[in-house]
Amino acid sequence: MRKKWALSGMAVMMAFGVAACSKSSENSENSGSTSAASSGAVQTASSDSAGGTPITYTFGRNIDPNSDPIKLLESQTGETLADNRWTRLFKEKLNVSVDYKMVTASPTYDQQFKLAMASNDLPDMFNVTSEADMKQLMDAGALEDLTDAYKQYGSELLKSIIEAETARVFEPVTKDGKIYAIPLKMPSTNGYNHLWIREDWLTKLGLERPKTMDDVYKIAKAFKEGDPDGNGKPDTFGLQIDNAFRENMKGFFWGYGAEASPDMWVERDGKAVRGFVQPEMKEPLAMLQTMYKEGIIDKEFGTKDNAKSMESVVSGKTGMFYGPHWSAFTIDKTMQNDPNAKWIVVPLPSKDGSPTKVSLTIGKDSYVAVKKGTKNPENLVKMFNVYVEALFGKDAEFSKYYGENGVENIWQMSPIYTLDPMIDLKAHQEIKAAIENGTTDSLGGTAAGFYANIKSGMWTFEMMFGPKDTPFAYVDQSYPDQIVWNAYLGAPTPTQITRGSSMDELIITSLTAIIMGKTDADQGFDKMVAEWNKLGGDKVTQEVNAELGK
Amino acid sequence: MLLRQTRGQKIFSVFNYALLTLTAVLCLLPLIHVIALSFSDNAAVSGGLVTLWPVRFTWEPYAYVLERSAFWKAFGVTLQRAALGTAVNVLLVILLAYPLSMSGEKLRARTLYVWIFFFTMLFNGGLIPTYILIKEIGIMDTLWALVLPGAVTVFNLILMLNFFRQVPEELEDSAMIDGAGHWRTLWQIYVPISTPAIATITLFCVVGHWNAWFDGLIYMRDAAHYPLQSYLQTIVVKFDFQTMSATDAQRLAQLNDRSVKAAQMVVAAVPILLVYPFLQKYFVSGIKLGSVKG
Amino acid sequence: MSKHTPALGNERRRSFRFGYKTKREMPLHFMLLPGLVLILIFAYIPMVGVTIAFQNFIPLKGLFGGQEWVGLDNFDYVFSMPTIWQVVWNTLRIAALKIVAGLVVPIAFALLLNEVRNVLFKRTTQTIIYFPYFLSWIILGGILIDILSPSTGIVNKFLGWLGIGPIFFLGENAWFPYTMVVSDIWKTFGFNTIIYLAAITSIDPSLYEAAAADGAGRWKQTWHVTLPGMHMIIVLLMVLSLGTVLDAGFDQIFNLYSPQVYESGDIVDTMVYRMGLQQTQFGPSTAVGLLKSLVSFLLISTSYLIAYRLFKYRLF
């Protein structure tokens, strides 16, 4: 039993931990010149050995020291956040000790961090959670330049992980061609938004899997009107929606073209433009408006957050929703309410049935920077080297450092961390191949852990990483060919800082009003765009393109 | 009352009792509902079956809360804070109220002093400067950061000061004639006869410290040192997947986060529930004498 | 009102010896010393921080380390913000409603409770209605979020039985301010009722007897004896509450609001909080805080003066 938990925990934490953090990065926009650090001169980091003079760094870390995994590890082995296998490893290999000066989780961490900035009381090394803070720190000259440290000491393994998807990951931490922080790179595949459908309902109502957005509408309508739960009452919804629909059902908007990526910057005629003001948004909004009018979607969505709204999915009243791969943990309970429930994930439908473009931002948790004047800043890079070596290197002890004995996120208990961006996709591919070839016994790493969970009957893992009709089956099919990267990763521009919140409020309220039929999807939308531009949208677009050198 | 009630008075009386009962019940219902939620099982809570009585009674939400060492840690911090903070508050209020209750005759700088204290009720430097100060004097992330900035509670000072003014002057004068100085007069005459006022102020301070949350979020840089309400603020008011660990997630599959929240709120309210009747008997007279002077 | 009118012997004692007074006062100064030191450190020293309101404050440069002085730019900026007047209006509206309701409701209940002859009933009712006062807004906020939920909350379920709703008390601009007022009254009215009740019980019974002898019934007695007898405490609480007209309740609103009700529920304090700690606009944020303090200062001074002129009431 314990063993099973160990492995399951691993993946859960990956899902939750990673999602939690990458969320914050997706909502903000970034700056920085495109110059970035190319992965040019690669030198082997020969100096990663013990024997240096002992040194202690104060640290600011965005993590909740009260969280269960940490307390669990403490009760099992006596290890704490301040003193655990990771910190001991850094001590042993680099003679570096860590002293946590500031440790609490967002959003309190962000508060603490701003107060520390205002009172000029930053630790030696710290998480920077927003691009805006990053920019302020760089502009104030408060950070150590890490360009040479990274180029000179960064191991090839480290560079291969951090720059795996694109070297643009450094954009937000670059000023005048210099790097001022190391991104905590995470799998970008967490940014996917999948379409989940109750297959048993499809079968019952004699419906085909959706290929086009019209199919989605037809299915939703049938789910609403065809009494799919068979209780004789019209008490079902066709499609789940909540108050953060811009982010939580972005897959729906993607169906109408990559330009309709609400919270992204997208390319249009060689320029970066904001997704939610593109005319491609009109059609999906009109569709949602129709659904609202016909009662296909929940009329209360404006006041329901995702967790609340998903309750109707779990209780078997809603049979279709857009969500990330870890939605599996939420809908796992559907089967308790209805043993016949069968969930599938289908490739994202599009307007004309062609492959849908998936808009992703580069996955990362936050950044780690070094305060100006701190001794041997290259030690940060060396710590990263030690970290990736312990998890993904030749002599890696994966489960010891990743999670074991029921403590799922040991990998997060290091002051710095980063994960192989392909970790989930690779696991899926290996499991699929192994099942086909009958070699499941020789699986290793994450794949072995996931597979053990599947074997032990954990539905969530089969649902997420299994070979067919799963989120990662779709990722495998679409990544990286159908990916469109966010066109702008830098910090909020001056106008965004001053006007951003009122502009954002305008968008949220206008889009909600359109869906609720209070304003027209065509003129109402145009009016919103005009107001947005007047509030500073035009200026923001100019500023962003200036940053990008376009 | 010797007078026989008239018909009108009888009707009024019935109406009055009914109205007051209804109001008291309305005040209590939300609290009872939350207690009922905290003892009900998941299916009952999510099915919306719980109103004022637990449905399918369970201790599980409490077991979950009580197992969490972080909850108890925060509970402990709050206990310490309430004890230390209240002691400091009450002592200072007594020490300040005595001289300030003197007439301008006996303490010539009285008006100046009063304004120095009163002004701080109206004006403050704001968050950032106070934060920098806390950092500079080196009490960041310690209990003192939660106790010292609010050590002088001006509102309570006014209450106490007005109470002291009612002490019959003859008592004070006779003590003085007996050769007692101000210190002895304060401790041997004023304090003993001011028990109701001191009890009231103690209650205010305990409650104030117990309920404070914002300063904890700001001055405690290590979340492991949060007092209870700050800890609750991060989970009860804004509860989402970001603060939830995997084991939480799994466990909440069987539990219901509404019951868990309810259980935490109940546990956090219990100490107040315990202090309150204890100090209540002084409370009414304390309030009365402190604020109502003719 | 001041009982410390000089006793007879004082005149003589004063001329007793020069410097006697100073010496006699020394212990009093010593008693004041600890509180004075604490308040100087923790209240007065940080006041130099209001200078941030006149700076283009860049974090990391320190309070005085080379910040750029920008005069009143931050104030200009604040008043050019599209939402500022909405926020001021929200604050005044919520605060005013709270002050009025917070005055009327407890007085009414004190009068009603005063008519109750059954001591046990009276005490039980008092105890019940002032219990919420002692719970924090964190806990009450948690309770409100739960019971007011449009889909699962018990209040909306009850309204549903009556064929009303569901009403999004915390999510709709039409309801949010009133929800704040009513829930605030729920928390505080019991406590204030006790205060008024105390004032009523301290009224000289002979006044009632005299009124009764003049043929006044219960209503007349209430109107001519009880209410006038309470005027002091009413004035005191009004004086105190006028100073808070720009407060409107940060603890409560911060824990209950969300972006969709900013339009009706965002108040000065929550805006200052967001500008400072979320958007790092420390200059404008401090400017708003400073303005708020100034206005509050004027309001409380004025009302204090009025109370003194009209009723000869001294707060301290």
Give Dmax (Cα) for chain A.
Answer: 75
Which is nearest to C152 in space by CA: A82, A270, A228, B262?
B262
C2 contact A CB<8A = no
Q: How far is B5 from chain A (nearest CA, A)?
A: 53
A66·B249 Cβ contact <8 A: no
In chain B, what residues touch C296 (CB-CB under 8 Å)? 122
- Measured between CA atoms, the residue of chain B closest to residue A330 is B253
Q: In a 10 Å sphere around its CB, with 0-12 CB exposed, 13-18 middle and 19+ buried, how is residue B11 labelled?
A: exposed
CATH code (residue C202)? 1.10.3720.10
Mean pLDDT lowest for which of A537-546, B233-242, C211-220?
A: B233-242
What is the distance between the alpha carbons of residues A217 and A239, in angstroms, rounded to a whole number? 9
Distance from CA of B127 to the nearest CA of A (A): 9
Residues C105 and C240 in one domain: yes
Crossing angle of helices B7-38 and C119-129, in 10° steps, is 40
Do C79 and C143 lie in a common domain?
Answer: yes
C199 assigned to some structural domain:
yes
Mean pLDDT over the full length of chain A: 85
Angle at B163 between CA B159 and CA B168, to 5 degrees: 165
Q: Is C46 on the interface with A (CB under 8 A)?
A: no
- In the predicted structure, residue A60 carries a pLDDT above the cut 90: yes
Residue ranges of C 181-240 with Cβ closer than 8 A to chain B:
186, 190, 194-195, 197-199, 201-202, 218, 232-233, 236
**Phi and psi at residue A266, to the nearest 5°:** -120, 160
Q: How far apart are CA B162 and CA B292, in angstroms?
A: 9
What ranges do the domains of chain B cover? 62-290
Across the interface, whether the CB atoms of C61 and A110 are under 8 A apart is answered no
Distance CA A319, CA A221 (A): 11
The residues near B212 (Cβ < 8 Å, ≥ 6 apart) are B146, B227, B229, C136
My answer on whether C192 and C45 are in the same domain is: no
Residue A14 with chain B: CB contacts under 8 Å: none
Chain B contacts of A65, Cβ < 8 Å? 222-224
CA proximity to A154, closest of A48, A58, A61, A53: A48
Nearest to C59 by CA among C239, C277, C294: C277
The answer on C193 and C51 residing in a single domain is no
Does residue C37 sit at the B interface (CB-CB below 8 Å)? no
Radius of gyration of chain B (CA): 25
For residue A84, is it left (φ>0), alpha (ψ between -120 and 50) or beta?
beta
Both tokens of A353, joined, read: 């049935």
- Computed on alpha carbons and rounded to an integer, the radius of gyration of chain A in Å comes to 24
Q: Do C262 and A132 touch (CB under 8 A)?
A: no
Flag whether C77 is in a domain. Answer: yes
Taking CA–CA distances from B252, the nearest residue in chain A reads A330
> pLDDT digits over A270-300, tens only?
899 999 999 999 999 999 999 999 999 998 8
Phi, psi angles (nearest 5°) of residue C49: -65, -15
C1 contact B CB<8A? yes
Nearest to C202 among B13, B165, B292 (CB): B292
pLDDT of A95 above 90: yes
| Phi, psi for residue B68 in degrees, rounded to 5 | -80, 115
- Interface contacts (A, C; CB < 8 Å): 73
C127 and C153 in a single domain? The answer is yes
A206 exposed, middle or buried (CB, 10 Å; 0-12, 13-18, 19+)? exposed
Q: Which of A20, A68, A108 is closest, CB to CB, to B241?
A: A20
Q: Which of C17, C36, C69 is the last residue of a domain?
A: C69
Q: What gap in Å lies between CA A196 and CA A348, rounded to an integer?
A: 10
Check residue A403 and give its pLDDT: 76
Residues B240, A360: Cα–Cα separation, whole Å: 23
Distance of residue A104 Cα from the nearest chain B Cα, in angstroms: 5
- Sort out which chain B residues have CB atoms less than 8 A from C10's CB and list them: 105
Domain count, chain C: 2
Say which residue the tokens 């450092």 belong to. A401
Predicted local distance difference test score (pLDDT) of residue A370 = 96
Q: Is C283 in the same domain as C162? A: yes
Distance of alpha carbon A186 from alpha carbon B237, whole angstroms = 29
Kindly state whether residues C247 and C288 are assigned to the same domain.
yes
For residue A483, list its beta bridge partners.
A358
Q: Has residue A81 got a pLDDT over 50? A: yes
Q: Are C180 and C222 part of one and the same domain?
A: yes
pLDDT at A13: 34
Question: Rounded CA gap, A191 and B121, in Å?
Answer: 50
Partner-chain residue, chosen from A300, A508, A512, that has the shortest CB–CB distance to C150: A300
The pLDDT tens digits of the residues spanning A451-472 come to: 888 888 888 889 999 999 999 9
Please enumerate in sequence order all residues whose Cβ is within 8 A of that of A64, keeping only pairs 6 or more positions apart, or say none. A70, A104, A105, B223, B234, B243
Residue C135 lies in a domain: yes
Cβ-based contacts of A73 with chain B (< 8 Å): none
pLDDT tens profile C137-171: 988 888 888 788 776 788 888 888 888 877 888 87
Secondary structure, 3-state, B10-68: HHHHHHHHHHHHHHHHHHHHHHHHHHHHHCECHHHHHCCCCCCCCCCECCHHHHHHHHC
Tell me which chain A residues have a C-beta less than 8 angstroms from the C-beta of B218: 111-112, 115
Domain-ending residue, one of C21, C48, C69: C69
CA pair distance A258, C196, nearest whole angstrom: 65
DSSP3 helix / strand / coil % (chain B, rounded to 5):
75, 0, 25
pLDDT band at A212 (very low <50, low <70, confident <90, very high): very high
**With an 8 Å Cβ cutoff, are A303 and C282 in contact?**
no
Any domain includes C1: no
| Chain A / chain B CB contacts < 8 angstroms | 101
Q: Which residues of chain A make contact with B135, given a CB cutoff of 8 A?
A: 119, 121
Point out the residue among C28, C44, C63 whose CB comes nearest to the CB of B182: C28
* Interchain contact C280–A (C-beta under 8 A): yes
Asked if pLDDT for residue A237 goes beyond 90, the answer is: yes
**Nearest residue in chain B measured CA to CA from C250:** B214
Strands A96-103 and A55-61, how do they pair?
Answer: parallel
One-letter amino acid for residue C288 of the chain: V
Sort out which chain A residues have CB atoms less than 8 A from C168's CB and list them. Answer: 300, 302-303
Maximal C-alpha separation, chain C: 83
Same domain, C194 and C250: yes
Q: Cis bond leading into C166, ω under 30°?
A: yes
Q: Identify the residue with better confidence: C261 or A54.
A: A54
What the block records as the tokens of B86 is 């209240």
- For the entire predicted model, the pTM comes to 0.78
| A37 within 8 A of A150, measured Cβ to Cβ | yes
Asked, for residue C273, whether it belongs to a domain, the answer is yes
Q: What is the dotted CATH code of the domain comprising B62-290? A: 1.10.3720.10
DSSP state of A155: -
Candidate from A352-361, B104-113, C72-81 with smallest mean pLDDT: B104-113
Q: Is a pLDDT exceeding 80 seen at residue B6?
A: no
Average pLDDT over residues A326-336: 85
Q: Stretch A237-247: mean pLDDT, rounded?
A: 92
Residue A306 CA: distances (Å) to CA of A303, A324, A417, B188, B251? 10, 12, 28, 63, 19
Q: In the prediction, which pLDDT does B22 show? A: 92
**How many CB atoms are located within 10 Å of the residue A457 CB?**
9
Alpha-carbon span A242 to A310, nearest angstrom: 8
**Residues spanned by the domain of C284:** 73-311
Q: State whether C23 and C166 are in the same domain.
A: no
Q: Within an 8 Å CB–CB cutoff, is residue C312 touching chain B? A: no
State the Cα–Cα distance between residues A108 and A287, nearest whole angstrom.
39
Residue A47 in this model has a pLDDT that exceeds 70: no
Q: Domains of chain A (ranges plus CATH)?
A: 20-187+365-412 (3.40.190.10), 191-359+486-548 (3.40.190.10)
Residue spans of chain C under pLDDT 70? 1-20, 62-65, 151, 240, 311, 313, 315-316
**Facing residue for B218 by CB, picked from A107, A115, A406:** A115
Q: Nearest by CB to C194, from B9, B109, B287: name it.
A: B287
Instruction: Name the packing angle between helices B246-254 and A68-77 (round to 10°).
Output: 110
Cβ–Cβ below 8 Å for A114 and C62: no
Residue A514's pLDDT band (cuts 50, 70, 90): very high
Chain C residues near residue B287 by CB distance under 8 angstroms: 194-195, 198
Interface touch B292/C198, C-beta < 8 Å: yes
Let me know whether C107 and C144 are in one domain.
Answer: yes
Closest in B132, B166, B265 to C139, CB measured: B265
Confidence of residue B293 (pLDDT cuts 50, 70, 90): very low
Other C-beta atoms lying within 10 Å of the C-beta of residue A145: 17
From the candidates C148, C264, C270, C280, which should be mutated to test the interface with A, based on the most A CB atoms within 10 A? Answer: C280
A94 vs A83, A145, A151, A368, B152, CA distance in Å? Answer: 15, 20, 18, 18, 49
